């Protein structure tokens, strides 16, 4: 019985020591931890004394020792937390909030985005609105509505990516499918441009890729003429390439326009680069265009006897490569940050 009383007195004494222990810095905190919570702390010897405690007080002894350990842990954790918060407050007090922050790195727009946005703004100024649609299309909107029915030789001009096990679902080969969807859901007058990505099963090289971007335009209304198209495209060219820019239209063939033409802009022969890209002629092909074929209007539910229209389409990569003198189209799709950082995102 006397032995039990001595052990409980020892527990009380250690408890008083824990409460009275003064901790004012990290060094004293570490000494406290070693003395009361370390691998050879004072409390460990108490657990071995349970064999000397009377049976009717063993439970009381165990609870007292566990409470003593909890008291030491609580003091250690509380003091440690107060040191940490005090250190943070000290650091914060040293911060000069009036100092300017470090500049955050700012990215640049992709050259295709820059050129596409510029083209869109030019046509928006003369009343065109942007129309966007799905990239996975059906055969009717991509081909048949555009006057290229099944087995038509014009389909051979475009190598198409069809979805697996499907002859109807495909990756659109041009944004003309957007024109078809607009004409089947809206009544004239229609004045839209359709920018977007298109896909063709072509060999990837410095001059061609299996994916690229187009901007196509469509204007359908009463008494729309070829002259309207020419003046619209001349306006675009002078806004894009300068007030003195000159264009020419050459006869061509597209299944969805009749008559059809290809438009060239005069690039000049001022240096070797201009001579090379124009093949020594000074003229550079920019886009294809023409009057909307009456069959296309009929396919989309528009009366060709009452309405007429013109359409045009141009490649964005071609425009970007010209503007920034990029010699390899693959550079536009490799996402090389060193290449992309060169471009001004002002547009």
The pLDDT tens digits for 50-90 are 777 777 777 887 788 788 888 888 888 888 887 776 555 55
> Mean per-residue pLDDT for 174-183?
94
**Domain 111-340 = CATH 3.30.1540.10:** no
C-beta atoms surrounding 289 within 10 Å? 26
Distance CA 109, CA 103 (A): 19
140-153 per-position pLDDT tens digit: 999 999 998 777 76
Q: 288 falls in which pLDDT band (50, 70, 90)?
A: very high
In percent, the amount of the chain with pLDDT more than 70 equals 91
The string over 124-143, giving b where at least 16 C-beta atoms fall within 10 Å of a residue's C-beta and e elsewhere, is eeeebeebebeeebbbebbb
CA distances from 264 to 75, 213, 238, 260, 319 (A): 84, 19, 13, 13, 12
pLDDT at residue number 118: 94
Strand partners for 105: none
- Does residue 182 surpass a pLDDT of 90? yes
- The residues, ordered by sequence, that sit 6+ positions from 221 with a Cβ below 8 Å of its Cβ are 188, 189, 190, 191, 307, 308, 309
Q: 203 falls in which pLDDT band (50, 70, 90)?
A: confident
pTM more than 0.85: no
Q: Map out the domains of the chain as residue ranges.
A: 2-93, 111-340
> Mean per-residue pLDDT for 235-254?
94
């Amino acid at each position: 019985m006397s032995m039990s009383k001595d052990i409980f007195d020892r527990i009380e004494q250690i408890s008083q020591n824990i409460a009275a222990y003064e901790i004012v810095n990290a060094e004293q905190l570490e000494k406290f931890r070693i003395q009361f919570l370390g691998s050879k702390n004072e409390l460990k010897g108490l657990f071995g004394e349970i064999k000397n405690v009377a049976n009717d007080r063993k439970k009381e002894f165990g609870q007292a020792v566990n409470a003593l350990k909890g008291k030491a842990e609580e003091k250690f954790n509380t003091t440690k937390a107060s040191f940490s918060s005090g250190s943070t407050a000290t650091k914060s007090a040293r911060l000069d909030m009036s100092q300017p922050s470090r500049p955050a790195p700012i990215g640049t727009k992709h050259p295709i985005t820059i050129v596409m946005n510029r083209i869109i703004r030019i046509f928006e100024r003369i009343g065109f609105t942007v129309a966007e649609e799905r990239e996975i299309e059906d055969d009717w909107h991509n081909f048949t509505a555009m006057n290229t029915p099944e087995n038509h030789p014009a389909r051979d001009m475009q190598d198409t990516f069809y979805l697996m096990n499907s002859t109807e679902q495909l990756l659109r080969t041009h944004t003309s499918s957007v024109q078809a969807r607009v004409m089947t859901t809206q009544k004239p007058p229609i004045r839209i441009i359709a920018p977007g990505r298109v896909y063709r099963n072509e060999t990837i090289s410095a001059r061609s890729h299996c994916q690229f971007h187009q901007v196509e335009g469509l204007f359908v209304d009463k008494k729309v003429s070829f002259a309207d198209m020419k003046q619209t495209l001349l306006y675009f060219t002078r806004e894009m390439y300068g007030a003195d820019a000159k264009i020419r239209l050459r006869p061509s063939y597209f299944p969805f326009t009749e008559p059809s033409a290809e438009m060239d802009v005069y690039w000049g022969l001022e240096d070797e680069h201009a001579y090379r890209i124009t093949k020594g002629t000074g003229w550079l092909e920019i886009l294809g265009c023409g009057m909307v074929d009456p069959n296309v209007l009929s396919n989309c539910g528009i009366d060709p006897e009452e309405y007429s229209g013109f359409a045009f389409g141009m490649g964005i990569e071609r425009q970007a490569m010209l503007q920034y003198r990029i010699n390899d189209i693959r550079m536009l799709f490799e996402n090389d940050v060193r290449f992309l950082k060169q471009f001004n995102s002002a547009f």
